[in-house]
Amino acid sequence: MSSRCIKGLRALLVSVLMLVLCGGCTVEPASRPAEIIVFAAASLTESFTEMADAFEQKEDIEVMLNFAGSQALATSVRQGTKADVYASANMKYMEDLIEAEIIEESAVFAKNRLVVCRNKGSEREIKDLEDLAKDDLRLITGDQAVPVGRYFYAAVDKAVKDKRIDEAVRQKIFANIRSEEVNVKDIVGKVILGEADAGVVYGTDIHGNNRDRLETVEIEILEEVAAEYPIGVVRTGVLKNEARLFVEFVLSDAGRRILKKHGFELAEGGR
């Protein structure tokens, strides 16, 4: 028998032996970590991005983040879009989802405040609410359907009611609005690009990445309208236990430290 035949026979015997030892078993692929989908208000972008990283290091769970306007996210959840956690920039949309039995329950984890962000390249000086009524001032706000817009309009209405401004000033402010955005990040972006002199955003939207181009203008009446952020688990989500762990992390001391780092006011009752 030639050496080539002997080598072939040996290879055949080895293959048969491996099949016998394996017993017909199949190799299972390595299991992947569970992945939860978190829908969060756009104003949470920086804080929740860091939150997700810290959570993934703590738990064997991956986090997919989807940031948009609170109302758009609520609509998507209501229509059945896959999501495990929903975090809103106001109570209204959360309460609507709880009433519809889409969210189990919610907890307020943070608060925010309204400010005016002024493009540092603008020649317009802004110190108080009346300055937003100056002739030809270009202002960008949130649409009234989104929390940041709803808060702004509520603040202006309160200013009229409290006689801090009159109806004529209110109408001039509204006349200066160049666009109403459905996402607070779009307001910031347009002001940075010089498409407006100023915009009404949350205090947390002005940070180290844009502070060189934006000035924060604090106006008392705007700060009196507090923005509350609730978070809850979506009932239709598949990974409820994992989703609850993420909510617990947001409410934990570690989560609160991240929120505070990004300028949020901490809600009472967090752990």
Q: Using CA atoms, how far apart are residues 44 and 259, in angstroms rounded to an integer?
A: 9
Same domain, yes or no: 85 and 130: no
Q: What is the pLDDT of residue 268?
A: 76
CA distances for 209 relative to 189, 205, 267, angstroms: 12, 10, 25
Q: What is the pLDDT of residue 226?
A: 85
Same domain, yes or no: 135 and 203: yes
Q: What is the pLDDT of residue 269?
A: 56
Within 10 Å of residue 19's Cβ, how many Cβ atoms? Answer: 11
Q: Name which of 31, 27, 29 is nearest 62 in CA terms.
A: 31
Would you say residue 105 lies in a domain? yes
The position carrying tokens 């020649």 is 123
Q: Using CA atoms, how far apart are residues 244 and 85, in angstroms rounded to an integer?
A: 8
Is residue 227 a contact partner of residue 202, using CB atoms and an 8 Å limit? yes
Query: For residue 215, what are the contacts with CB-CB under 8 A and spacing of at least 6?
Result: 117, 118, 119, 120
Q: How many domains does the chain have?
A: 2
Same domain, yes or no: 173 and 125: yes
pLDDT in tens, the chain (271 residues): 444 344 344 444 444 344 444 454 444 455 677 999 999 999 999 999 999 999 999 999 999 999 999 999 999 999 999 999 999 999 999 999 999 999 989 999 999 999 999 999 999 999 999 999 999 999 999 999 999 999 999 999 999 999 999 999 999 999 999 999 999 999 999 999 999 999 999 999 999 899 999 999 999 999 888 899 999 999 999 899 999 999 999 999 999 999 999 999 998 754 4
CA distances for 34 relative to 83, 240, 241, angstroms: 13, 11, 11
CATH number of residue 89's parent domain: 3.40.190.10
What range does the domain containing 67 cover? 34-111+228-266
Q: What is the pLDDT of residue 239?
A: 94
Same domain, yes or no: 183 and 213: yes
CA-derived radius of gyration, the chain: 27
Query: For residue 132, what are the contacts with CB-CB under 8 A and spacing of at least 6?
Result: 116, 126, 139, 173, 176, 198
Q: Using CA atoms, how far apart are residues 244 and 250, in angstroms rounded to an integer?
A: 10
The position carrying tokens 């409820």 is 240
CA distances for 227 relative to 73, 80, 89, 151, angstroms: 17, 27, 7, 7
Same domain, yes or no: 107 and 124: no
Would you say residue 77 lies in a domain? yes
Query: For residue 26, what are the contacts with CB-CB under 8 A and spacing of at least 6?
Result: none
Q: What is the pLDDT of residue 225?
A: 84
Same domain, yes or no: 140 and 215: yes
